[in-house]
């Protein structure tokens, strides 16, 4: 077994006993990236020198017997949406291609404090908007199980990096499924914590009431390890929850006695791939064999989740992304060209006798904003900004935005009622396995509907997790989703671990063309 | 509900975006399709339902009123496309 095939929990023990150094481990990951990332495209930037420096420093401190953090010497890949001081945070957008953050996000700061090795920055859909990572302004990412297919998104780079064993751990963000969906499509574990469990300070905002940072790993134990390191109250994020972080790593191997599991009949409707359906049903049988009681629970408003989400998320996005104006930071379109074009437009209108229209052309500052945003944003980001601006505009606010917020409460109430009866809800994470690259790029609505099973957890703010539960005949992984009440991450992880301990789907890995 | 081209042009100005002719056409179609789907929300009875703006409904989170270190001017200007060392530079707003 190669070192990169080991779980972070195993690696941590090997590092602690001195059987392995962080330099050796970091080199092994860098070699893996070197060999496979030209095909996979998981990383936007890898700073090998910095990673090796960090690893060497941790090895030295370990030799000297100094106390070390919980992730000491473990390489962690970070989605390119969390600020890391003095380095580029691009959000896979031309708008921020050169942006160097003047401060650390709380999550990156916690990773540094935990003595993790920050091995590289992973690809994503631009500003985390998308479900295939094809909306990156820089490169597509390919699924390690089949390079003609998507790894999912928006955290596709982080998921692919862990699935291809380029890093044992990675950080993603989940606004409507952006951790759980790629985890499912790449055959790994991915978790969205309760909204507020992990600080959003220094996370570049997409939809502030939905965004949440979370871990990717190859096992539930590793996800617990990473979650424990990044969680906690942060006075710099006023929506962060002021509750102590439980020791997930200490409880994860304790099975849940008398587990009551909820199954949502609506999750097995038309559109669910038969292979996914049978794997999820088989997983439910595994739980029954472990003593779980399975109960049907309705989530009657679940079918409105995608509609509510695609009003709320774009509305918040249109407001959050107003900051990209070409003034304070980031890209600005060629100003003299934009102003010359504006002057020419005006002249043309005057020459044609259209003086009223000539008076109505953009003011120079407005034109600068518009040219900058025209050239700086990709198609999907523009689409969502437009959708949000429309939903919030005069005359439509009540019909769309306010209506969606009311439906959001009903979705939350459904969960509250369901969790009175059951401890966890189990079901599919996606309707089908990884789709082909390019398959949905011209059909945004079809792409939005991919989020069917995942958006409700974001709207309700509850924690949810995806873990491997099968492989299709064509060799593509299938994910199982578990959802829990607010702040019940401990229960969620223990419940997931019960299934993992009884099955071996998490040990399956992509062959990457046979080259290991 | 279908959006017209004029709606899309108006929203593009509100959103400070510019769309090419071709983009304007695709955007009109795509937004109409998406808004058409979102109209599904209309069938939900939401009478007497309070809107839920946030997953964690905490209110009145205050920070202590203490001066803390913040970015230097140099750091704040470092990422600006145009600046003069003191402030951000933009095209003339009040004319030449």
Q: Identify the DSSP state of A26.
A: H
**Which runs of consecutive H residues, i.e. helices, occur in A393-512?**
403-421, 444-449, 455-460, 489-502
Residue A154 annotated to the active site = yes
Please list every residue in chain B whose beta carbon sits closer than 8 Å to the beta carbon of residue A85: none
Domain ranges of chain A: 3-242+258-300+416-507, 325-376
Q: Identify the DSSP state of A402.
A: I
Residue B56 touches chain A, beta carbons under 8 Å: yes
Residue B38 C-alpha, separation from nearest chain A C-alpha, in angstroms: 5
pLDDT > 90: what percent of chain B?
76
To 10 degrees, what angle do helices A305-320 and B21-38 make?
Answer: 140
Is B34 part of any domain?
yes
Residue A282 tokens read as 């088989």
Residue A22 annotated to the active site = no
The pLDDT assigned to A193 comes to 98
Residue B71 touches chain A, beta carbons under 8 Å: yes
Residue A174 tokens read as 């989940």
Please list every residue in chain A whose beta carbon sits closer than 8 Å to the beta carbon of residue B34: 310, 387, 444-445, 448
The pLDDT assigned to B1 comes to 67
Task: Write down the residue that tokens 């942060």 correspond to.
Answer: A234
The pLDDT assigned to A514 comes to 61
Compute the distance between CA of residue B55 and CA of residue A49 in angstroms, rounded to an integer.
41
Domain of B27 in residue numbering reads as 5-42
**A92 within 8 A of A124, measured Cβ to Cβ:** yes
Q: Is the pTM of this model over 0.90?
A: yes
The pLDDT assigned to B93 comes to 82
Burial state string for A125-164 with b = 16 or more CB within 10 A and e = fewer than 16: bbbbbbbbbbbbbbebbbbbbbbebbbbbbbbbbbbbbbb
Predicted confidence band at B63 (pLDDT cuts at 50, 70, 90)?
A: confident
Compute the distance between CA of residue A20 and CA of residue A3 in angstroms, rounded to an integer.
9
CA A156 to each of CA A79, A152, A198, A489: distance values in angstroms, whole numbers, following the listed order: 9, 5, 20, 23
Determine the straight-line distance between the first and last CA of chain A, rounded to whole angstroms.
10
The pLDDT assigned to A515 comes to 45
Instruction: Look at residues A175, A396, A112, A493 and name the one whose alpha carbon lies nearest to residue B41.
Output: A396
The pLDDT assigned to A441 comes to 85
The domain that contains B10 carries what CATH number? Answer: 1.10.20
B16, B51, B56: residue with CB nearest A366: B16
Q: Which CATH architecture has domain A3-242+258-300+416-507?
A: Alpha-Beta Complex (3.90)
Please list every residue in chain A whose beta carbon sits closer than 8 Å to the beta carbon of residue B79: 98-100, 102, 328-330
Mean pLDDT of successive 10-residue stretches along chain A, which has 516 residues: 94 97 98 97 98 98 97 98 98 98 98 98 98 97 98 98 98 98 98 98 97 98 98 94 95 97 94 96 98 97 96 98 96 93 94 91 94 97 97 91 97 98 98 95 87 96 98 98 97 98 96 67
* E strand intervals along A5-144: 43-46, 75-79, 117-122
The pLDDT assigned to A269 comes to 87
* Counted domains in chain B: 1
């Amino acid at each position: 077994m190669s070192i990169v095939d080991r779980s972070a929990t195993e690696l941590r023990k090997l590092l602690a006993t001195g059987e392995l150094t962080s330099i050796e481990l970091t080199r092994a990951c860098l070699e893996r990236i070197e060999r496979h990332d030209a095909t996979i495209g998981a990383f936007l930037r890898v700073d090998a020198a910095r990673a090796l420096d960090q690893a060497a420093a941790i090895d030295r401190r370990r030799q000297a017997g100094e106390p070390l953090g919980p992730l000491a010497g473990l390489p962690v890949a970070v989605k390119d949406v969390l600020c890391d001081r003095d380095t580029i945070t691009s959000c896979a957008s031309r708008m921020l291609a050169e942006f160097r953050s003047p401060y650390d996000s709380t999550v990156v700061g916690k990773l540094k404090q935990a003595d993790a090795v920050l091995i590289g920055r992973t690809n994503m859909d631009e500003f985390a908007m998308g479900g295939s990572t094809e909306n990156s302004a820089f490169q597509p990412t390919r699924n390690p199980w089949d390079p003609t297919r998507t790894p999912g998104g928006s955290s596709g780079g982080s998921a692919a990096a862990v699935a291809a064993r380029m890093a044992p751990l990675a950080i993603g963000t989940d606004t409507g499924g952006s951790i759980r969906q790629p985890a499912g499509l790449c055959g790994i574990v991915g978790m969205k914590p309760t909204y507020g469990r992990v600080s959003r300070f220094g996370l570049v905002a997409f939809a502030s009431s939905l965004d949440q940072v979370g871990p990717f790993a190859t096992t539930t134990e590793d996800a617990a390890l990473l979650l424990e390191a990044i969680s906690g109250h942060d006075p710099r994020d006023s929506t962060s929850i002021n509750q102590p972080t439980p020791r997930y790593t200490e409880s994860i191997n304790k099975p849940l006695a008398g587990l009551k599991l909820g199954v949502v009949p609506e999750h097995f409707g038309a559109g669910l791939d038969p292979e996914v359906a049978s794997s999820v049903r088989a997983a439910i049988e595994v739980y029954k064999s472990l003593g779980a009681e399975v109960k049907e629970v309705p989530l009657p408003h679940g079918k409105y989740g995608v509609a509510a989400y695609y009003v709320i998320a774009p509305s918040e996005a249109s407001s959050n992304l107003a900051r990209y104006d070409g003034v304070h930071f980031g890209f600005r379109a060629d100003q003299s060209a934009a102003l010359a074009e504006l002057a020419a437009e005006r002249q043309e209108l005057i020459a044609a006798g259209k003086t009223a229209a000539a008076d109505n052309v953009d003011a120079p500052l407005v034109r600068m904003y518009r040219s900058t945003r025209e050239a700086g944003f990709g198609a999907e980001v523009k689409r969502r900004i437009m959708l949000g601006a429309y939903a919030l505009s005069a005359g439509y606010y009540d019909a769309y935005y306010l209506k969606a917020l009311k439906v959001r409460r009903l979705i939350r109430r459904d969960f509250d009622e369901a969790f009175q009866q059951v401890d966890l809800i189990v079901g599919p994470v996606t309707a089908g396995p990884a789709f082909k690259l390019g398959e949905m790029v011209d059909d945004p609505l079809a792409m939005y509907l991919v989020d069917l099973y995942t958006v409700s957890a974001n709207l309700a703010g509850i924690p949810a997790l995806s873990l491997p539960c099968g492989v299709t005949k064509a060799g593509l992984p299938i994910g199982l989703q578990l959802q829990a009440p607010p702040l019940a991450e401990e229960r969620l992880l223990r419940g997931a671990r019960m299934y993992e301990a009884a099955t071996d789907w998490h040990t399956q890995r992509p062959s990457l063309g046979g080259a290991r | 509900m279908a959006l017209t081209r004029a709606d899309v042009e108006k929203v593009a100005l509100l959103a400070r975006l510019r769309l090419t002719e071709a983009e304007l056409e695709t955007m009109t179609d795509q937004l109409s399709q998406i808004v058409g789907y979102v109209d599904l929300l209309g069938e939900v009875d939401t009478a007497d339902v309070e809107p839920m703006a946030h997953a964690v409904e905490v209110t009145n989170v205050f920070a202590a009123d203490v001066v803390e270190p913040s970015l230097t001017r140099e750091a704040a200007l470092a990422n600006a496309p145009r600046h003069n060392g003191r402030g951000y530079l933009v095209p003339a707003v009040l004319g030449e």
